[in-house]
Structure 1
């Protein structure tokens, strides 16, 4: 099959590219960075260099594809309106898919995308799903992963400054988590599986409490007493703003994490819980320790 992948060579797209190429598919990887071209070609894929804001480029890249995999890259760190950003890129994807006549697409969404309020920046994924669902002649599979292990990297600096993880979720509450490797495997499986109608697939690798996470990370970085402290939403908002986030964006993150704490974010996930992936949190912890010790 001719398969188009977005996401450059990120944590999901790199292993996904490798797997699909090894299986004999003709893979094109879209990247906004020309310097990625050599690495993409080294994996046996074709590089298409351009930006997701350019629908003419996207339509050309999607032309003739059997399947396209669409993900929305992180917005600029100072972009306060993540919902508008998601809607813009999703609209561009939908336009390119329609104009190129693509019949099958995979969208990297998020758990919580079933909800139209109360989930902060995850609302962007909800709007993106709604936009893509409007396509009449394309079958869409929405991949909804849970909390990425890699998100824990954001706490390296906090642990060094404060000696603890202090956020408005976690503690004794279980957090459904996932490895990008398991997400890539799920996407590869969906690409090769016939689908007659739009569908949703959740992907997760395991569930851990904040305290369990702190214990594993602390043991790996030589801080066996590392604690996970649950702070208030107000304290979370103030802390994010103090670190330079615009108030609107800080509010989006605060609400998203609050919805994880109160169970709103993972409600539909738990009703449709998938078989768990192979990569567990202890498999990720050494990578966290390496990054912690490098900085």
Structure 2
């Protein structure tokens, strides 16, 4: 199969590329960074350097492809994030239609069933709607849990204040996923026959922030590491002081509020969907400790 991968050689793209190349597929990896060309080619894939917001570039790259992994990069430009995300989604949809790609796996997220109140996830809701309208294209919306790897953002807080925390409580239920489990799910979906439009959740574990702090604390020899719930304002100001652009900090604060209310996780948690990722919290805690 001729398969196109977006997302460069990131946390998902790299293991996905390795899996598909090892399976004998002809793989093209799209990256906006020309410096990635050598690494992509060393991985056994072809490199296509350009912007995912450029529909003409995407259509040329997609031409003749049997399948596509569509991933809209987060924080496009750091300003007008939702609008930029949706514009990139429009470019993808236009290029998919023009190139007549028959099989697409789109990286989406828990909470993408909500039009708002979900922070940066809000950009995925209209993109799913765009892809639902694609004719003669089978689409799997791969809704991923909260990335385990996002917890690395807490390292400065752990080292500086001896705590983990956010604007949601220690007993909130969080669907979690490891990027390697996402890559495995994408590879599985790309290589199997599919029709119509389908939703698949990819979640590795469901745990609470309190359990996360306990597991990570044990792994880094800080057995009393607590999870502290912040107010929305404390969370917002903390992220801004840490150097995050205010728009992005507000989006993450809104996402935290959606996790606190339970709205973001409701569709998954109430839908009897499987937790089929292999990498559990105890596994990631060891990975976290090795990089701490």
TM range (shorter): over 0.9
Q: TM-score, normalised by structure 2?
A: 0.95
SS in 2 for 1:109: strand
Corresponding residue number in structure 2 for 1:93: 92
Question: How far off its partner does 1:224 sit?
Answer: 1.6
Cα distance in 1, alignment partners of residues 285 and 80 from structure 2: 32
1:3-27 per-position Cα deviation (integer Å, ceiling 9, x unaligned): 0000111111111111111111111
Distance 1:89 1:272 in 2: 32
Taking the TM superposition and a 5 Å limit, the aligned residue runs for 1:125-164 are 125-164=124-163
CA–CA distance in 2 between the matches of 1:191 and 1:258?
A: 34
CA shift, 1:272, in A, is 4.1
What TM-score do the two structures reach when normalised by structure 1?
Answer: 0.94
Is 1:234 matched up with 2:233? yes
Cα deviation digits, residues 167-225 of structure 1 (max 9, x gap) = 11141222111111111111111112211111110000111111111111112222221
Map of 1:283 onto structure 2: 283
- Offset of 1:244 from its aligned partner? 3.6
SS at match of 1:79: coil
Quote the residue 1:116 is aligned against. 115
Q: Deviations over 1:123-156 (max 9, x none)?
A: 1111211122222222211100101110101101
- Secondary structure of the 2:216 match is helix
Q: Contact (CA 8 Å) 1:69, 1:106: kept in 2 or not?
A: yes
Kindly report which structure 2 residues correspond to 1:173-184, keeping only aligned pairs within 5 A, or say none: 173-184=172-183
Distance 1:54 1:144 in 2: 24
Asked whether the equivalents of residues 86 and 127 of structure 1 are also in contact (C-alpha less than 8 Å), the reply is no
Structure 1 portions without partners, runs of 5+: none
Which of 41-50 and 102-111 deviates more? 41-50
Aligned partners of 2:127, 2:249: CA distance in 1, in Å? 21
What SS does structure 1 have at the residue aligned with 2:109? coil
- Specify every segment of 5 or more residues in structure 2 that has no aligned partner in the other structure, as ranges: none
Q: Is the 8 Å Cα contact of residues 107 and 141 (structure 2) preserved in structure 1?
A: yes
Contact 1:81 1:249 in 2 (8 A): no
Q: How many residues align?
A: 291
Alpha-carbon distance between aligned partners in 2 of 1:176 and 1:275, rounded to the nearest angstrom: 9
Aligned to 2:2: 2
Hey, which bits of structure 1, 4+ residues long, moved more than 3 A?
A: 244-248
